[in-house]
Amino acid sequence: MENSKVHIYYGDGKGKTTAAIGLALRMLGAGKTVTVCQFLKDGASSEMKALTKFKKSCKLMYYGEALKFIQMMSPSEFKTCKVIENRLFIKACDSNTDLVVFDEVLDLIDYGILDEQMLLYYLDNRGDTEVVLTGRNPGLKVKKRADYITKMFSEKHPFDKGEPAREGVEF
């Protein structure tokens, strides 16, 4: 894609993945090809189910098994997670589509699962691929490479009252 850009959706608020998938749908609607790579997720969310309808032009990548929250992983689980997510990242980097969404990649970097240099190298050498990065906290080097940065913060959320996530709304 000519004149490609880097988008970051970050913060502690709801909607980062939803915004990224919205851009993916917009690209698909324009006849472009898309890769959505979800880290630390099992691919079972409603938005991923919807994207399966675009089999010819949309590649979906994720581990396929539910992972524990990083803070709850044992050292061996963390090591396994690191191997799995790094392989997934490398595979997504080779996807050769008009848009690549790296969902939760910023959290991989924050927790030391993915080396930030790997992401920076990809961003600097991606050619004409549009890229979306999501997560809670981008580093300054990643932010410098972005063309769009949107911070999402939570003012109020039912989760704060102990309500569980609802299918079709939060997942």
CATH number at residue 127: 3.40.50.300
In a domain, 167, yes or no: no
139-168 per-residue burial string, b: 16 or more CB within 10 A, e: under 16: eeebeebbeeeeebeeeeeeeeeeeeeeee
Residues 116-123 have a mean pLDDT of 98
CA atoms within 13 A on the CB side of 147: 9
Q: What is the pLDDT of residue 31?
A: 97
pLDDT confidence bin for 43, thresholds 50/70/90: confident
In a domain, 171, yes or no: no
Predicted model pTM: 0.90
In a domain, 136, yes or no: yes
How many domains is the chain partitioned into structurally? 1
In a domain, 169, yes or no: no
In a domain, 93, yes or no: yes
Residues 132-161 have a mean pLDDT of 93
Question: Which residue range(s) make up the domain with 39?
Answer: 6-64+74-161
Beta strands in the chain (DSSP E): 6-10, 34-38, 58-61, 99-103, 130-135, 148-151
Report which of residues 156 and 60 the model is more confident about: 60
What is the overall mean pLDDT for the chain?
Answer: 92
In a domain, 129, yes or no: yes
In a domain, 30, yes or no: yes
- Per residue in 48-73, pLDDT (tens digit) is 999 999 999 999 999 877 677 888 88
Residue 13: pLDDT above 90?
A: no
Q: CA Rg, the chain, in Å?
A: 15
Q: What is the pLDDT of residue 51?
A: 96
In a domain, 42, yes or no: yes
